[in-house]
Structure 1
Amino acid sequence: MVIDDSNTIRRSAEIFLAQAGCHVLLAEDGFDALAKIADHHPDIVFVDIMMPRLDGYQTCALIKKNPKFSGTPVIMLSSKDGLFDRARGRMVGSNEYLTKPFTKDSLLKAVAAHAGRA
């Protein structure tokens, strides 16, 4: 699953992952994502940090607090690369932190490391 308020980022990630044979779910924000996660149980979640309504930190925390999804790997996506941002991502339970602009290779490495599917 790719959660990002930017259509360009969602589509880029979708293309990269689909080319590798992954089935990709898309969500525009945390609220949209939480409903889809409950319905589809994704193997891995990529989530943007800076989003309206429910940001990536809040979305990650809600996923990790739910016993059904606490084991689902969550990869933070952000253009912010500061130590504080990375630490905050870890505090809410993220498994990895990728900076934008990401590459096809970095996305697929994250999938391979956390979901074993790439």
Structure 2
Amino acid sequence: MEVTYESLKVMVIDDSKTIRRTAETLLKKAGCMVITATDGFDALAKIADTRPDIIFVDIMMPRLDGYQTCALIKNNSEFKTTPVIMLSSKDGLFDKAKGRIVGSDQYLTKPFSKSELLGAIEAHVKHLKAS
């Protein structure tokens, strides 16, 4: 049973161009529409315009970090049900716990694989179509 990711809007927020590019390439190959943002401020403006189905957010970013960004998304009544997956190069229990406190739905450690990214989407996006 193949899951199709067509017309699925995925946002990737990361200050690393390499991570954004990697995630974008993997997700586009799977059929997703990808919106990227360089930090939380950039992302918040784009979220309102694009209404992504799922958001991947890096923790360590300048200006507005991943925890603050996630909290702002989850505190907005329009977007509080949008799944937010934290991305971090740190695999610490503290980071995972802090991510849960601000409302994140899952935590992925970098470097992530294609199967981890798609697995997170499958776990959290309710309207995925199985063919």
Per-residue CA distance 1:50-70 (angstroms, 9 max, x = gap) = 000000000000000000000
Structure 1, gaps ≥5 residues long: none
TM-score by length of 1: 0.98
**Identity over the aligned pairs, expressed in percent?**
72
2:97 counterpart letter in structure 1: A
Match in the other structure for 1:2: 12
Q: Which residue is equivalent to 2:27?
A: 17
The CA distance in 1 between the partners of 2:93 and 2:64, in whole Å, is 22
Q: Deviations over 1:24-55 (max 9, x none)?
A: 00000000000000111100000000000000
Name the residue aligned to 1:91.
Answer: 101
Tell me by how many angstroms 1:115 deviates. Answer: 1.3
Q: What TM-score do you get using the length of structure 2 for normalisation?
A: 0.88
* SS of match in other structure, 1:68: coil
More helix by proportion, 1 or 2? 1
Counterpart CA distance in 2 for 1:13 and 1:83 is: 24
Gap runs ≥5 in structure 2: 1-10
Runs of 4+ residues over 6 Å off in structure 1: none
Q: Distance in 1 between the 2:33 and 2:84 partners?
A: 16
Q: How does 1:1-118 map to 2 (within 5 A)?
A: 1-116=11-126, 117=128
How many residues get paired?
118
- Cα distance between partner residues in 1 of 2:12 and 2:57: 6
Please say which structure displays the higher CA radius of gyration.
2
Structure richer in strand, relative to its length: 2
